[in-house]
Amino acid sequence: MSRVRLCKLSTLNYRNLSPDTLDFPAGVTGVWGENGAGKTNLLEAAYLALTGRTEAGRLEELILAGQTEAYVRADVLESGSLSVQEVGIGRGKRQLKVDGVRTRNGDLPRGSAVLFRPEDSELVFGAPSQRRGYLDSLLSRLSARYAEQLSRYERTVSQRNAALREGQDWALDVWDEPLGTLGRGIMEFRQRAAGRLEELAQGANAELGSRKTLRVQLTESADPERYVEQLRARRAEELARGLTLTGPHRDDLALSLGDMSAGTYASRGEGRTAALALRYAEMQLLTERFGEPPVLLIDDWTAELDPQRRQFLLDLAASVPQAIVTGTERPPGAALLLHAAAGRFSPLTEGNRDGR
Ligand SMILES: Nc1ncnc2c1ncn2[C@@H]1O[C@H](COP(=O)(O)OP(=O)(O)OP(=O)(O)O)[C@@H](O)[C@H]1O
Ligand SMILES: [Mg+2]
């Protein structure tokens, strides 16, 4: 894979964004404006168009209130040739197209963007499912095989859960073997990635000025070598609860700072810093895998951050081929500045830059 650059972004009925097409240069684009202007929405739309992914809870949220469909389109430059990626959002479904041809999620350039958000603190303070989501989303972009195995594993867990709820003891034998094989594959992949992930996040956390060592470790509910046995051993309990109780869908990516659980003991700023370090690690792993840095989408570059951490984000944005940085304050050093107001974005030229 090669470098992907966002040249144009078009949106229609996407949250509060006015229907428009915006041009993005290489280097840093700064987007600034007051609260509620649509800065986060713009970054989210860019992320969706570049990756086919969204961090929103429900797809319906993305559609302009009162409408039934939303649409985003990215004109991307990839190894010198232009292609068009389109994402249509309807109720509960999304449709992806590359150059007019329908595709599955896996077929959009998988390393193409990383989104940094203030809400990333939830990776530290939120439930294990948030950290699993982070890990799975990252590993799915690193490996199409992981993405495939994960979706087959998740399907198998829900089918097995249905059998458990119906008390079909005999049917479980059918599910345990495939679950064992898929689960083992997922655990092994996660284990292989975890060391490098920790190394990168730890380094970034220290560089961000944290004095406490960040540890990032898998806590697994099952042993890959003995997974099927472990499933069998808990079957009575599982039948009673109607749930599959061991396996990668129950695991956590435990974060600690200076040997104390980060989720329980970290200060807000320490948590935010650890979350930044995780996003940094994501960006680095994608760069290592695809040979080029992804487009960085950095939301709210000042939120909850002290000067050293803000500078880290600005330096990071300046170090990659393309970044979009939003905030209520103008990010310094941008090649293009867009002023956001009520879902519209107007470029500031040299002439009127200082006037506003
Ligand atoms: N589906 C939707 N339909 C209409 N408006 C929406 C929809 N979803 C969100 N909005 C509105 O979009 C507006 C802009 O939200 P956004 O999060 O992009 O603001 P922002 O510029 O990032 O502000 P802040 O500086 O506070 O982070 C908000 O007023 C929000 O209520
Ligand atoms: Mg915002």
Of 164-178, 198-212, 287-301, minimum mean pLDDT range = 164-178
110-120 confidence digits (pLDDT tens): 778 999 999 99
Ligand 1 atom nearest 38 alpha carbon: 18
Which CATH superfamily is 122-292 part of?
A: RecF/RecN/SMC, N-terminal domain (1.20.1050.90)
78 pLDDT exceeds 90? Answer: no
* Binding-site entries for ATP: 33-40
Residue 29, ligand 1, Cβ within 6 A: no
What is the CA(92)–ligand 2 centre distance, in A?
24
Q: How far apart are CA 85 and CA 101, in angstroms?
A: 9
Q: How many CA atoms, within 13 angstroms, populate the side-chain half-sphere of residue 288?
A: 14
Residue 41, ligand 1, Cβ within 6 A: yes
128-141 confidence digits (pLDDT tens): 999 999 999 999 99
What is the CA(243)–ligand 1 centre distance, in A?
38
Q: How many CA atoms, within 13 angstroms, populate the side-chain half-sphere of residue 258?
A: 10
What is the CA(153)–ligand 2 centre distance, in A?
35
279-320 confidence digits (pLDDT tens): 999 999 999 999 999 999 999 999 888 899 999 999 999 999
CA-CA distances (angstroms) from residue 159 to 151, 166, 167, 202, 284?
Answer: 12, 11, 12, 38, 36
What is the CA(343)–ligand 1 centre distance, in A?
8
Ligand 1 atom nearest 61 alpha carbon: 1
- The ranges assigned to domains in the chain are 1-112+294-356, 122-292
CB contact at 8 A, 70 and 64: yes
Q: How far apart are CA 245 and CA 94, in angstroms?
A: 31
Q: Do 1-112+294-356 and 122-292 come out as alike in CATH topology?
A: no
Mean pLDDT value of segment 257-267: 95
Which of the listed residues 18, 31, 39 should we mutate to test ligand 1's pocket, taking the one with most ligand atoms within 8 A of CB?
39
Q: How many residues does the chain have?
A: 356
- Ligand 1, atom 19, lies closest to the CA of 36
Q: From the CA of 18, which ligand is nearest?
A: 1
Architecture of domain 1-112+294-356: 3-Layer(aba) Sandwich (3.40)
Ligand 1 atom nearest 328 alpha carbon: 25
Structure tokens at 345: 């974005």
Residue 242, ligand 1, Cβ within 6 A: no
Of 214-223, 255-264, 299-308, 322-331, minimum mean pLDDT range = 299-308
CA-nearest of 268, 354, 343, 282 to 316 is: 282
